[in-house]
């Protein structure tokens, strides 16, 4: 069904690979048009792969990260990648965080307007973005993604808002990504079972579980390699020896929690979320 469209909004190159890559691959394979909005160029990302920590890479990191993003998006199955056009804000209190072109410092009306235009052009029935509780990793750009996306979805349906940005469009369902406690516990247990050192220490399990908020689990069975390969495409940002991402054998990692977890945040249709289909109920 080529009239269906899934639009995801992420902060930096690599976020699209770590959050919901299997979901996008599944729906792309089913004929859904898939669009990624990446809000920043990821210029402040640390080079975590020692093999990529070279002067020529550091000198042109923005271009390198865009190349990595394009490669990852192709692996996942995105039909289009749209850059929102802001600079990586870096971490709180950093020099980058004070730059006027940083996403975190963007005038909200301007940033919302940019996303409204994209939503009205692409006309997605379903949007996936970040939630209202990001205490586990309160990066300024991740917080801003939520603060921009939610009003943009509302304004996109309002004919009086941003009239120059196209015909109004009502998104039918909005989902927030979630990294579940169940996934962490499953991975941790498998590391110990295999006699491997787990990257999940006590601090991971001291965080408050948000699993009670999860409404929808999309099966990624058959798409377990997608996240793995897409992450590896981000050669500067992802260390291929990272035990967190790659410490378990590939087939084992794919089998532990073969779902992407979501919170249904907004819905204008009746749906049965137990089906694990984020398009359930969509006209």
pLDDT for residue 212 is more than 90: yes
Per-domain boundaries in the chain: 5-180+212-270
1 pLDDT tier (thresholds 50, 70, 90) = very low
- Considering the chain, what is the average pLDDT of its residues? 96
Give the Cβ contact number of residue 231 at 10 Å: 21
Q: Would strands 126-129 and 80-86 be described as parallel, antiparallel, or unpaired?
A: unpaired
> What proportion of the chain, given as a percentage, has pLDDT over 90?
91
**Contact present, 17 and 42 (Cβ < 8 Å):** no
pLDDT for residue 135 is more than 90: no
Q: Would strands 216-219 and 33-40 be described as parallel, antiparallel, or unpaired?
A: unpaired
Nearest partner of 37 among 72, 65, 12, 74, judged by Cα: 12
Distance of CA 74 to the CA centre of its chain: 15
pTM: 0.96
User: Would you call 124 helix, strand, or coil by DSSP?
Assistant: coil
Q: Reply yes or no on domain 5-180+212-270 having CATH 3.30.1490.20.
A: no
**Contact present, 1 and 283 (Cβ < 8 Å):** no
């Amino acid at each position: 069904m080529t009239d269906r469209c899934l639009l995801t909004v992420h902060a930096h190159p690599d976020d699209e690979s770590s959050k919901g890559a299997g979901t996008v691959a599944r729906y792309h394979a089913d004929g859904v048009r898939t669009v990624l909005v990446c809000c920043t160029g990821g210029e402040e990302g640390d080079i975590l792969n020692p093999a990529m920590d070279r002067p020529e890479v550091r000198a042109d990191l923005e271009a390198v990260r865009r190349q990595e993003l394009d490669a990852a998006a192709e692996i996942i199955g995105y039909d289009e990648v749209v850059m929102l056009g802001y600079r990586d804000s870096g971490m709180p209190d950093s020099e980058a965080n004070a730059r006027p072109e940083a996403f975190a410092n963007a005038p909200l009306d301007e940033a919302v307007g940019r996303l409204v235009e994209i939503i009205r052009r692409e006309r997605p029935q379903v949007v996936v973005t970040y939630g209202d509780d990001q205490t586990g990793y309160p990066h300024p750009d991740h917080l801003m993604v939520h603060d921009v996306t939610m009003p943009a979805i509302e304004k996109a349906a309002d004919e009086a808002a941003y009239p120059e940005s196209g015909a109004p469009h009502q998104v039918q369902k909005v989902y927030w990504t979630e990294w579940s406690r169940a996934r962490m516990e499953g991975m941790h247990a498998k590391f110990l079972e295999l006699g491997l050192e787990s990257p999940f220490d006590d601090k991971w399990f001291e965080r408050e579980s948000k699993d009670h908020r999860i409404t929808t689990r999309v099966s990624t069975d058959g798409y377990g390699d997608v996240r793995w390969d897409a992450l590896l495409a981000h050669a500067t940002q992802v260390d291929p020896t990272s035990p967190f991402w790659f410490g378990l054998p590939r087939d084992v990692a794919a089998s532990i929690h073969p779902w992407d977890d979501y919170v249904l945040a907004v819905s204008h249709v009746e749906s049965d979320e137990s089906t694990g289909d984020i398009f359930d109920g969509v006209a």
